[in-house]
Structure 1
Amino acid sequence: MNNFNKLPIAIIGAGPIGLAAAAHLSQKGQPFIIFEAGNQIAANIRSWEHVAMFSPWKYNIDSASSEILSRYDWTKPDRNNIPTGRELIEQYLIPLSETDEIKPHIRLNSKVISISRKRINKIKNYGRETAPFVLHVQSEGYSVVAAYARAVIDASGTWQNPTPMGSAGLPVSGELEYKDHIHYGIPDILGTHSDRYLTKNVAVIGSGHSAINALLELADLKKQSPTMKLFWILRKSNVSDAYGGLDNDELPGRGRVGQRVKELVEDRQVEVLTPFFVDAISKAENRIIITGESNKGVEQVVVDEIIVATGLKPDLEMLRELRISLDTIVESPVNLAPLIDPNIHSCGSVEPHGEAELSHPEKDFYIVGMKSYGRAPTFLLATGFEQVRSVVAALTGDWKAAKEVQLELPETGVCGVPKAID
């Protein structure tokens, strides 16, 4: 048992929530190790680093992380400014990852591919709770090594697991075959990806703010090439449902984004197809044909490129040998699901929650951060910071602190970069 307690706590993912978990563990004097699949920290954020968040800095910095950084020559960003993903990385996450408290414990190019208990599979009961976790970790050279831990915090996120364009949650016919013409998420349209979209006809599929951000950047690119045609494909019955609160939005930044895309639609800079359900894509004379069904019947749209922003979902494959309990719809921990159901809640209406809502039948295993929300699009960084504070308190025996969950937000709540849901 003494050797068991000396094992580190394994953290999967070196993004803002994984690094926050590390900061809280460091404060508690607990050994930990961080496995990051990418070759740099915050690999997921780097794919949307050109995008501005909706929430200002005061909701994007974890308290324990801030305390560690205060020991170094770190300039804390203006709490009221709104960062881009790149600024979040450069002004906060990189300085944190370079501290003596965190840096020695990060393992880059280390993808966790499976987790179990040492010599105990999913079926076996006896000795389960006192057996170390064993993580199979794949390195850059494809070799797999076993690492042992007394607890596991999965903060691997969902950004690398986008939902296909099909309304059933499955790829449509031709989607895999013509994947070279499809980008999932928010491409850097005005930067590194500009040549891919300049002069092209582009369809954006999705109704969330990821889709809207892509449309706004495409509209800016269209100023250089007025012949570009932009199509916005949604499953919603009415495009106005995607605009958000506009002038009355809870967050002025988010409201401005909604207002801008509304103006694009009204000025006919963007052609809207809604409700439109994509059934197939095909290719003819180097053009992509999107075939789907609308109120008018079967329709086709001819484009050069497609941007899919229809949401994200958790990758659960590495957890198959663990006893986890997930909601059958949202795919979040069962006790968390009612608090984040996207049919009821927005970012601002999610209640504070912690260890109690995140626990699983597998003792000392927790999914935190965006992945804990499963398919729900209501996650925000401030919520994730409170999650890991509570989880770390529980793992270090401070059950009183673990149960006292709090979340200081403005009355209307805040959001980070949201996932899209139709």
Structure 2
Amino acid sequence: MKKLILLIVIAFIAVGCGKKNVKPEPPKDVFPVSHEAREIESVNSAETLIRATGKGSTVEYAIADAKKAAIWYLLNAGTKPLLKTKEEKTAFRLARKKLYSNIDQFIRHTSDLKSKKKSGKTTIVEIVVKVDIAMLTEFLVDNDVIQSSDTVADEVGLPAISIVSADNSDDAAVAKNTLGEYLADKNYEVNVVEQSGKLSKIVSKLAKLGGNTDPAYAWALEAGSDVYVEVKVNKESGRVAGVTTHKASVTARAFETSTGRQLASTSGYSSERSSAGYDALIQEAANAVADKLISQIRKKWLREAKKGKWYKLVAFTSDKDADKVDRSLYRALKSLPSAKVKRVAAGATTFQYQVRVKDIANAFELLDSLSSKYKGPGKLTRELESGSLLVLKAGTGDIEIDFD
């Protein structure tokens, strides 16, 4: 009997020791198990913070899976996934094993555990990681998954962008400069408009003729650009546990300068902090808005740019030539290659058109092409050429522009 009891005890000890020596089960493959993640903050044009959940048989495996979940989120989810088309997602299948096998090259920082729990044999953790989006994008380009920005720009051209604000405050200046730096990093031609001094008489006249009384629009015309972004800053303060806190938000709307068509609208928010000033919070909010804004602008611009580029054309003439100039200009515009023409406004001696044309890169080239096709009285004389805006005098004799 004693021998039997001894054998049973030895058996239990052996089983217990055996369990302790069982190695944790490694992941079955290199792909993420979890797909739970969300964006916290866009740090700058190249990096973003992602809070991600990971699953694995150990904490170490779960952390590695959380990093993969963060990358998966940036590739496939959110408001601005890197893989946008069916073709890109198909191409990624050939590169995904290579990417997920070397995930740490895209991770700039990993936080301590934000949470940890067990579900059966699975350990589930939450961490915050800083991801290098620029390097991730470069990987996709190098592996022929997506096109680079430079390639797209060479094919259809990226818009020149002016950044203006609803007011001329110091807070707005911080937001405009932050957004401008972000766009410049993305290879856009950017003009951060100071909105100081006086508008030129011709631009003030054009803004009134178009019926747009927004001062920001007039400054955008003055700057000359394909797209203008209007920025607005909002600040809030409160108290948490007896401590004064601050936060900021930035709202940005993008418009096509030539047509006034809205291309994008989005907002970004800072965290609520007990900081002494608002500048850092406004910068944080502006960075948050920048990535979403540029994604919306890019999507619409590239789609439309393949059809051609829109220009705003304004012509001034005299009473005696008005009818013939109007008809001749309209016919000349219609005769341009692949042209789409809208006659948007007309006065006694002033005519406004919107024209979309292919293979004409700027307003000077538009004038050159138009001059060779114009058959009306007199000639076309350039009054103002700025970005996608072309202002002409057309007809015979001296043509006066009434600025009142």
Give the TM-score category using the shorter length.
under 0.3
Structure-2-length-normalised TM-score? 0.25
Could you say which structure has the larger radius of gyration? 2
- Relative contact order (C-alpha < 8 Å, sep 6+): which is higher? 1
Q: Which has the higher strand share?
A: 2
